[in-house]
Structure 1
């Protein structure tokens, strides 16, 4: 039986080792290749929106991954979610946005769902996705979105400690008013590891592992 191939499309090179480790753990028999272009997310941040031109480039990358032999394609950036969904309609193999399995689990887990991000360009698309997946599941939810304003800038300027402190504070505050928290960006998941069990009194969901586990289930 021919080995399956997974194509990963990233907007940050820092995510390559993260997903490589997850693929080694959950998809040991699957071939994996990466396409990386950080200009996609830089354009979204600079323009504060996902433009038609950037969307078209995302669609092109998904098409390139299919042409390269991918049996399944995962796009690991939440900010370009709308373009990923458009690409899925034009592609002959399954295409998944990284935050969909996380959104589905959040909807199953509780009614009061919190979404947290350090970028407004990610907060909006992830919040919208959670709402739509809830409608699809036929479940009423109460959504609370929280932006850690300034945390992303701190991280980009090399002040990881300030970023982590701001995100941790926001997570603790949000956990008091919701049943489950969704991390809109994979970069925030390491902050969760630093919280005490008392501070993590509700489920806090991160997208990378959930997405790879979902693909592993589908490819069985």
Structure 2
């Protein structure tokens, strides 16, 4: 069964509000009643009352999602995006006023949904959580180089049986991997036949600044690191 939609914000008396104990609100997307989930384990969030998710693309809110969203103004977080032709609508994790959508992906995603999101949002980037699990270790072991200095690019050899790089290599939007440090890694390409690809580092602060100001995202060289 599909999990209940978990969101940071609901509408309380017509205003966006964080979840607080015993508070009730309305979904800003479908106007269904929402209840505040404020337990001791999971990050406090809103959930639909007695119904499944109204947005099948939405995944459960985590501390990692919340931390990333907090790098941007509240009005840019959880923004409804509507296709003016078809009427299809979804809620973007972050939507910059300049038109860029940022999707923070914590769980595995299949190729069909990946392509659907990219086609729907158009101008977007992915930021993928790789702060836990064995993928981080395989990534570090596979790095070699640099094979190019400007912009700085490393080769990545993939010796794991995991399909992680193959799947993200299919993305048409730019993909950044977050390993929980101050540096993100952009996936430039991945060849599933040769199990080799290329990645480029970028300071996390630069991506946040450039996205916020509607600029092209800098490389490590441009950032002066």
TM-score bracket for this pair, using the shorter chain length: under 0.3
Q: TM-score, normalised by structure 1?
A: 0.26
As a proportion of its length, which structure holds more strand?
A: 2
Considering only CA atoms, is the larger Rg found in Structure 1 or Structure 2?
Answer: 2
Question: What is the TM-score of this pair, normalised by structure 2?
Answer: 0.26
